[in-house]
Amino acid sequence: MIPRLLLTGAAGKLGRHLRSSLRPYAQQMRLSDIAAMDAAGPNEEVQFCQLADKQAVDQLVQGCNAIVHMGGLATDYPFEAILEANIKGVLHIYEGARRHGVERVVFASSNHVVGFHQQDEVLGTDCLRRPDSYYGLSKSFGEDVAQFYWNRYGIQSASLRIGSAFPEPKDRRMLHTWLSYRDLTELIRCCLQAPQIGHTVVFGMSDNRDPWWNNAGAAHLGFKPQDSAEPYRSDRESTPPLDPNDPARRYQGGGFVKSGPFN
């Protein structure tokens, strides 16, 4: 068990679930967000923190042994907001990890790092990045930060290109990209417990029938998803498809390829 595990973004949709599902793997959980959280339970610490505040993040990281970094904006916003939460935030997390000897970080990247690939492509973990939004750009930057801190300081990281993490797939696109909450927890567990990961990029997806991504390059993590979007197929395919000329149908990033500009 990890002596003290830091979970950022603990008040978010995924963070609230991970707060309980990751508890068996840590003796102590330190939970952070800027939004309101439930009071600390047994073996929990609650600490509010602005990710753009370097000193506050440094204090947040101190005493932790591993970090699951889910914090930041989870969809597209004007660049100025993305810069504060997602770009400064991830750099501050890694700098805090360096200063305090944290050996492993699990970074919540996103499929939107590769969103401008066509939907008829199957991508490996080493594919060309094609961000589809300011949000996707920030996650691409985070992957570079993770690689840099591995190369220079030996901090091991997994960059999780999370697909569509919801209780169930919402539409036709998510039949390809869905990641169940159970599989998300298992993927993070694998990233925390695998003996050596260096900097590993892995796509966060369940065992869906027609995936757009291939995780052969991350096989050393030992991740084996248990769920699939298949039970939802007939219902989701009963809705009319998008127009073939709609960029949200052509590109893997879906609606993110059309987000902004925000003037």
Residues with a known catalytic role: 135
Q: Phi and psi (nearest 5°) for 182?
A: -65, -45
| Residue 214, beta-bridge partner list | 124
Angle subtended at Cα 191 by Cα 187 and Cα 195, rounded to the nearest 5 degrees: 135
Helix or strand holding residue 56 (H, E): helix 54-61
Count CA within 13 A, CB hemisphere, residue 117: 17
Q: Which two tokens stand for residue 62?
A: 């101190």
Confirm if 229 and 209 have CB atoms less than 8 A apart.
Answer: yes
- In 44-190, DSSP assigns E strands to 44-48, 66-69, 104-110, 123-124, 156-162, 164-165, 178-179
